[in-house]
Structures are given as C-alpha cells and as structure tokens.
A = this chain, B = another copy of it.
Amino acid sequence: MDIVGQHIPLEIHEIASGTPVFDWTVPKQWTIRDAFVKNSRGERVIDFRAHNLHVVSYSCPVDTRLTLADLRPHLHSDPEHPDWIPYRTSYYSEDWGFCLAHSALQALPDDDYTVCIDSTLEDGKLIWGECLIPGATSDEIVISTHICHPSLANDNLSGIAVSIELAKSLLAASGSYYSVRILFIPGTIGSIVWLATNVERLQTIRHGLIAVNLGDTGHLHYKRSRRGHAEIDRVVEYVLHRRKDDCTVIDFSPYGYDERQFCSPGINLPFGCLSRTPYGQFPEYHTSADNMRFVRPEALAHSLDAYREIIQVLNRNGRFQNLQPMCEPQLGKRGLYGSIGGRSDAKERQMAMLWVLNFSDGEHSLLDIAERAGIDFEVIADAAETLTEHGLLARCSGSNA
C-alpha cells in the first residue's frame, strides 16, 4: 500500500478482525517475522529470509525439533517442476508448513531439524486501498485488483502495476464522463469486505473489470460478466475486436477471481475479468517461477492500452435523444449538410450524423449505432458530439445496457 501510495493518491481503509461481513467474518491478522528449518549443524536449510514463499501463508507459530519423517507432512513441493517453490496458503484452517523446491526436498538427509515459525495470528485489521478519479458524473467504473500475494509477478503484481499506470493516465486526462474507482484489495475476503461496507454505493457502479494476470506473453482473455451482454461486455468485445488483438472471450462461470463476489446473485454487478493467460492456465501460476522474468514490459503496456481504450469507449458511449425527432432536422441551415459526395471521410461523417439522428431515440447507445451502421465508434461519437453542440441531441442519463 505504501508503494502504491507513492505513485497515485490512495485512500487507505481498514476493518477490524472479527467484524461480520455478510456470511463471513474478518479474519485475524497474520504477521510473519521469521521462519526456518535448521539442520542439526544449525544451518538454515529452509529460510523465509531467502524467499517468502518458503512459509505456508497463514501458518500458526511453531518452535520445535522434528525428525525428517515427522517434518515431512509439513513440506510441500512440486515434483513436476523440481526447481520451483510452490505457493501455498492455509486460510481458514489452523496449520503450518514450508514450501521448497522438489530438488531441495529430495536432498534433505535424515536429521533432527529445528523448526521455527515466528508468526502471530491475532486480532488486528484488514486494510485496502482505493484511488478515485472523479468524472463528470458520480456513476462509476470500478477496476479491482487483488493485493494478497504481490511477490508473485503475473498473478498479482501485474494487476497492481497496470492499475497504477491506468490511474496515472486517467488523472492526467480530463473530461471523463464516469468516475473511476480503482480497488487494491485482498482476494475474496477483500471484495466481500468492500461490498459489505459499500452496499449503498453499488447502485452507482455502472461497469467493472477485474484486473489480473496482465504481464505474461499470452493473448488477452475476457471473461464476461454474469449478465453476459452488459455494456462492459459489449464494449470490451468491441475494443478487442477493433484492435484486431488475438483474444479469447468466455462466458461467466462462478469460479476464478473476485468476479465470483461482484457477480454473486445478490450483487450481480456487470463485472468482467480482463486478463492475459487466465487463472491456473500457465505452469508458473502460484510458484516462484511467476517472477519478474516471467512478466514482460511490452505485455504490460499492451494490457494497459486495452484498459485505456475500453474506458475511453465507455466514457464516450451513451444513449442520446434526438431533440428534433419528427422527420430529419434541416442540417443545411446549420452548416452540417452538403458534404455528401465530397471526400470519403466527409461522406462518412455525414452518414454518421444521419445514423446518430435516426437511432438516438433514447434506446440505442452509440455503440449499438456504430455496430448497426458499420461505422467506427469514434466517428459515430464525433457525430454525436457535433450534433449535441448544435442542440440537436441530448445525452440520456443512466446506464446504456
């Protein structure tokens, strides 16, 4: 949170352990100071200081001596990738353990081992961060990224990095229609806490994206919201298609990241998940190999561009009302006519105006019109802007879906 706060204005929130949140309770706070396994010669053969994945997250405190046989059930490795340290957690059941490379595990001799986990699990607090970039309306786009294991580079840190850069570029721009709220929250319990403490705000949330796995070299994947054809779904698919990005679009399923909570049936917000390679589909997932060599700057930049473009289309998209809906308005007396037959661009601009006028009946969004007309969204949006300036069009409030 401190590092994020050095890059963008961040509001830090906290909630005390034990607080009920919907069907859940905010858990105790886990603090880890040190953890190691020493052999009988006093050498640290597994050392938390060397790599923080060595200790199973949320392990309870331990201070004991064990034979290898007794220690063994607490040691986790991945035989298929013998050099990688797996990432394990023990949320919600009191246990402890160490993770290590399978090659290192196999090299451990029979010995008496000193085992120490210097952790505490006690009442404390859960914290999260929010960055709000205000727009013309209080209607919000929410970008949510998890922060619970940032030492994993793609599945976790990449989402944080892209979100920070996105926030910076939105703060630098102006004239955004929507307010954009970026959430930096622990997975699952963080989104449950946020939703439980923001129930009154939910009705102002128009669109949402879960930002995750944005640095690997795979192509973009979009997992639709539970609604399936919400505006966010249509805009993401339009943008990915327009960019001619290689991409895969899949339907919502109730498993994955925090879309599970944002799309639970009582919440049912239009949240999709835009990632590169999804959850569990790259071998480095949840291992020490998901590191800074695995994520690529050009992949991060490409992901950031897609997010920016999506937010731009969301901002420009809207339903409009033609204020002269009885027959066509006379464009000529307003200097808006006469370009047909001129250059091809002028003709397209003219046609865009006619399409926008004809279908701005309060029911069709500009994206609907662009798709029906077969004209690029930006040309349609420019036409709507021109017509609005000439008093022929007014933007409708509310969602466009």
Q: Give chain A's interface residues, CB within 8 Å of chain B.
A: 22-24, 92-93, 191-192, 195-196, 226, 253-255, 260-261, 263-268, 322, 324-330, 332-333, 337-338, 351, 354-355, 357-361, 373
How far apart are the CA atoms of A253 and B357 in the complex, in Å?
11
CB–CB B195/A265 < 8 A: no
How far apart are the CA atoms of A357 and B226 in the complex, in Å?
13
How far apart are the CA atoms of A188 and B358 in the complex, in Å?
15
Residues in B with CB closer than 8 Å to A326 are 22-23, 195-196, 264, 266-267
Chain copies in the assembly? Answer: 3
Main secondary structure of the interface of A (DSSP, over half): loop
How far apart are the CA atoms of A236 and B327 in the complex, in Å?
24
Since A192-B328, A195-B327, A267-B327 are in contact, a sample of 18 more A-B pairs with Cβ atoms closer than 8 Å, ordered by chain A residue number, is A22-B324, A22-B327, A23-B330, A24-B327, A192-B327, A226-B358, A253-B355, A254-B354, A254-B355, A254-B358, A260-B328, A260-B354, A260-B358, A264-B327, A264-B357, A265-B322, A265-B357, A266-B324
Residues in B with CB closer than 8 Å to A329 are 23
Residues in B with CB closer than 8 Å to A360 are 265
How far apart are the CA atoms of A265 and B327 in the complex, in Å?
8
Q: How far is the CB of A306 from chain B (nearest CB, A)?
A: 27
Q: How far is the CB of A263 from chain B (nearest CB, A)?
A: 7
How far apart are the CA atoms of A268 and B360 in the complex, in Å?
12
Residues in B with CB closer than 8 Å to A322 are 265-266
Max chain B C-beta neighbours (<10 A), residue from A253, A325, A358, A373: A358
Q: How far is the CB of A88 from chain B (nearest CB, A)?
A: 11
Residues in B with CB closer than 8 Å to A359 are 254, 265
Q: List 16 A-B contacts (CB under 8 A).
A: A23-B330, A92-B333, A92-B337, A93-B332, A93-B338, A192-B327, A196-B326, A253-B373, A254-B359, A255-B354, A263-B358, A264-B327, A264-B358, A265-B325, A265-B358, A266-B324
